[in-house]
C-alpha cells in the first residue's frame, strides 16, 4: 500500500476521532445539565406533593366546617319554622278572640242602648269622661284597647 493512502486513512480516522470526542463532550455537558434539571424537577415534585397534602387537609377541614355549620343552620331553620307555626296559631287565636270580643261588645252595646238609651257604652265613657273609673286589671285595659282599635278599623 502506498504511504500516502495510509496517511490519508490516518487523517480521516483522526478527524473521525476528533468529531467523536467533540460529540462525546457535548453529550457529557447535556447529561450534566439533565442531572441538574432532574434535581430541580425532583424538588418541584416534592414541593407539589407537599402543597397537595396541605390542600387535601384544608379541603377536609373545610368540609367538616361546612357540615357542622350546615347542621347548625338546619337546626336553626327547623326551630324558626316551629316558632313561625306557633306564632301563626297564636295570631289566629288572637284574631278569633278579638272577633268574639268585638261581637260581645256589640251585643253589650245594643243591650245597653235598648235598656238605657241615655247612657252610652263604657268604651265611649272612658274616652269622653275622665271621672269614669279606669279598668282595674291589665287584661281589662288590653280588652278595651282592642275594642277601640276594632271600632276604629
DSSP 135: P
Residue-wise pLDDT tens digits, 44-76: 999 999 999 999 999 999 999 888 888 888 899
Could you tell me which of 108, 104, 135, 134 has the C-alpha nearest to residue 119? 108
The better pLDDT of the pair 95, 19 is held by 19
pLDDT of residue 123: 46
Report the helix count and the strand count for the chain, using DSSP H and E: 3, 0
Helix pair angle (138-152, 3-115), 10° resolution:
100
* pLDDT tens readout for residues 99-148: 888 888 888 888 877 775 544 444 444 444 455 556 567 777 878 888 88
Which of 132, 110, 136 is closest to 122 using CA atoms? 132
Domain residue extents for the chain: 3-119
Q: Quick check: 112 and 103 in contact, CB under 8 A?
A: no
Task: Quote the pLDDT of residue 136.
Answer: 66
Confidence label for 34 from pLDDT (cuts 50, 70 and 90): very high
71 three-state secondary structure = helix
Q: What is the pTM of this model?
A: 0.37
Number of other CB atoms surrounding residue 102 within 10 Å:
15
Higher-confidence residue: 20 or 90? 20
pLDDT higher than 70, residue 35: yes
4 pLDDT above the threshold of 60: yes
Q: Is pLDDT of 16 > 90?
A: yes
Asked whether 152 and 124 are in contact (CB, 8 A), the reply is no
Amino acid at each position: 500500500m502506498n504511504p500516502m493512502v495510509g496517511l490519508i486513512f490516518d487523517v480521516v480516522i483522526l478527524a473521525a476521532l476528533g468529531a467523536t470526542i467533540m460529540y462525546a463532550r457535548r453529550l457529557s455537558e447535556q447529561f450534566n445539565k439533565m442531572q441538574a434539571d432532574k434535581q430541580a424537577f425532583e424538588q418541584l415534585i416534592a414541593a407539589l406533593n407537599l402543597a397537595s397534602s396541605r390542600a387535601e387537609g384544608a379541603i377536609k377541614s373545610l368540609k367538616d366546617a361546612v357540615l357542622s355549620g350546615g347542621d347548625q343552620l338546619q337546626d336553626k331553620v327547623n326551630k324558626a319554622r316551629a316558632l313561625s307555626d306557633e306564632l301563626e296559631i297564636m295570631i289566629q287565636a288572637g284574631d278569633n278572640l278579638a272577633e268574639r270580643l268585638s261581637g260581645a261588645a256589640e251585643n253589650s252595646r245594643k243591650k245597653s242602648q235598648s235598656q238605657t238609651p241615655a247612657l252610652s257604652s263604657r268604651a265611649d265613657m272612658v274616652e269622653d269622661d275622665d271621672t269614669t273609673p279606669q279598668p282595674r286589671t291589665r287584661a281589662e285595659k288590653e280588652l278595651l284597647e282592642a275594642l277601640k282599635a276594632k271600632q276604629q278599623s
